[in-house]
Amino acid sequence: MDNKYIISTDLDGTLLDHNTYKFNKAAPALEYCDDMQIPIIFNTSKTFSETEKLRKQLNNNHPFIIENGAAVYVPKEYFEMAEPSSVPRFDAGEYWVYKFGINRSEILSRLTTFAASHPYSYKGFKSTTTRELSKDTGLTLEQAAAAKERQFSEPVAWLDKPEKLNEFSQHLNLFGLNCIQGGRYSHVIGQTNKAKPLLFLKELYQQKYNNNQILISLGDSPNDREMLECADIAVVIESPSHQDPILNTHPHLIRSRFQGPMGWNESMLNLLQTNTEKPAINV
């Protein structure tokens, strides 16, 4: 088929249930995408180890974006073309890694300098044990250990007054850092977000297929806002635990009727089965 759609999806609270981390309720829509050869790009705050494991469980062979847009992993040979060099890339075995953020060691060093003059109360993953993380998130010890293997970001549990979080974020910008709100944690990263590597990938798909691709993004949290805004079709998945990402006016916005993977399933089947022959919009 003429590959017309690309899907970018958040994981926790979107494709995966917020509490159980299961995706089985989205199985019919995932199978439909597979049959129609529509690539599903995981676009998550999760680490490489966590995302790769899930990708194998779902038999997904497509590129994926980790740690809130800090890097994109592209299977070698995937695009069968000379890849652009505008973004620094490195070789990671079966993948090329395009780096949009900065290394975690640099983030931790800047946070230490920052803390000396900005006394906010929070607890980062660096000072959180695997056991504590498992207890806070409901992940198994093994999953919590994988969640701590961060390369390009430092998630923090906010312990200060909620209204101070915006101020914290603005002050971090002066140190060349972004603070992005996820479902459970705030994530301190370099100056990137989930949209930057996604638009880079969209361009690679358009070059590969020599056509305009319709980008569908699905997310449930403020850290998905840029990814939703840059999409041709934005699908906001209802969350049991927090407010929707605040979207500026989006011309093609869908709000799911159900939470998590059930919402993912219904929204995508409605959208794709109605529009596969006649695309929802012309781009």
CA distance 95 to 214: 25
Q: State which of positions 161-220 bind Mg ion (CB under 5 A).
A: 183, 220
Does 50 sit near Mg ion (CB under 5 A)?
no
CB of 91 to Mg ion, least distance (A): 30
CA distance 47 to 45: 7
Does 13 sit near Mg ion (CB under 5 A)?
yes
Which position among 5, 7, 9, 10 is part of the footprint of Mg ion (CB under 5 A)? Answer: 10
Does 263 sit near Mg ion (CB under 5 A)?
no
Give φ, ψ of 189 to 5 degrees.
-140, 175
CA distance 80 to 98: 16
Distances (CA, A) of 198 to 90, 194, 228: 18, 7, 11
Closer CB to Mg ion, 45 or 213, in the complex: 45
CB of 81 to Mg ion, least distance (A): 32
CB of 119 to Mg ion, least distance (A): 30
By rule CB under 5 A, what count of residues binds Mg ion? Answer: 6
Closer CB to Mg ion, 110 or 225, in the complex: 225
Which position among 221, 259, 265, 267 is part of the footprint of Mg ion (CB under 5 A)? Answer: 221
The residues near 19 (Cβ < 8 Å, ≥ 6 apart) are 138, 240
Q: How many residues are recorded in the chain?
A: 283
CB of 207 to Mg ion, least distance (A): 30
Query: Is there a catalytic annotation at residue 10?
Result: yes
CB of 182 to Mg ion, least distance (A): 6
**Contact between 107 and 190 (Cβ < 8 Å):** yes
Catalytic residue among 2, 10, 136, 220: 10
CA distance 132 to 55: 26
- Taking residues 15 to 44 in sequence order and writing x for each that binds Mg ion by CB under 5 A, - otherwise, the string is ------------------------------
Of the CA atoms within 13 Å of residue 70, those in its CB half-sphere come to: 27
Q: Which alpha helices (DSSP H) does 176-248 contain, by range?
A: 195-209, 225-229
Interface residues with Mg ion (CB under 5 A) are 10, 12-13, 183, 220-221
Catalytic residues: 10
